[in-house]
Amino acid sequence: MTTDGGRVGRDADDSRGTGRVRAATGAATGMTTGTAPRATPRTTGRESKRARIERMHAEYALLCQAFPAPRCALDFTTPLQLLIATVLSAQTTDKRVNTVTPTLFAEYPDAAALAAADPERVEDIIHPVGFYHAKAKHLLGLASALETRFGGEVPRTMDELTSLPGVGRKTANVVLGNAFGVPGFPVDTHVMRVTGRLRWRSDWRIAKSDPVKVEHEICSYFDPADWTDLSHRLILHGRATCHARKPDCANCPLNATCPSAV
């Protein structure tokens, strides 16, 4: 996916972190509090929805402390560059994408140039990211669509973005949240895994849940202004601690409350 972030620095109660968690917690649970919710030790037995939501916000407050300044890990300066980089990031790492995009962006600085590009040249540039044939086809197709339908500009709505070749909801949410500041919650494998282990979602037992369903449920518990950074922090937590095969529970900031902690 597309996330980077520090683990020290900004106070966790700033405007991008737990400050808004307070309002969202009240909206989701019917409570109004003057402070961010406090995490309580995990308990055995059935957890009510109200208790789950309270725990969820308390755990997010801890993630805000652990990752105070999350950001997109893909290098970009324009919405088009982010759109291209996100399409390329499928089934590879952001670090690898960042090695090929400088050349790609230099040779094709706008949608018109990319739409007119030699497919073989594009494939040659993006070869290191894998699936280069399909990705080159998507890039040329979306560039052509941008030129013919949107005047060469990247649209700012989910419906318009997902109408472009190779662009699904996850890619659209990345672009909306990081290029335009429009609330978006990208759901990748890290988000699926972490929200499942934390039992933030009702279908946590299902290994392959519907990403759209997960997106809508998790977003319903948080203020829209938090959605993008929430996704960033869940991804960072998945990369740093909550690994797929061997989660580092001993050093996890959520160890005391996580239902899956060992």
Catalytic residues: 170, 188
CA atoms within 13 A on the CB side of 188: 27
Give the residue numbers of the binding site: 242, 249, 252, 258
Question: Which own/partner pairs from 249-257 qualify as long-range (CB within 8 Å, at least 24 positions apart)?
Answer: 253/62, 253/63, 253/65, 253/66, 254/39, 254/59, 254/62, 254/63, 254/198, 256/39, 256/41, 256/42, 257/39, 257/40, 257/41, 257/42, 257/55, 257/58, 257/59
Residues whose CB falls within 8 Å of the CB of residue 49, separated by 6 or more in sequence, listed in order? none
Return the closest-CA partner of residue 188 out of 94, 253, 255: 94
Give the residue numbers of the binding site for [4Fe-4S] cluster: 242, 249, 252, 258
Phi, psi of 154, deg, nearest 5? -80, 125
Angle, vertex CA 229, rays to CA 65 and CA 246, nearest 5: 65
Q: Using DSSP, how many helices (H) and how many strands (E) does the chain show?
A: 12, 0
First to last CA, the chain: 27
Q: What is the largest CA-CA distance in the chain?
A: 61
* DSSP H helical ranges for 108-257: 111-115, 119-126, 132-150, 158-161, 169-179, 189-197, 211-220, 227-240
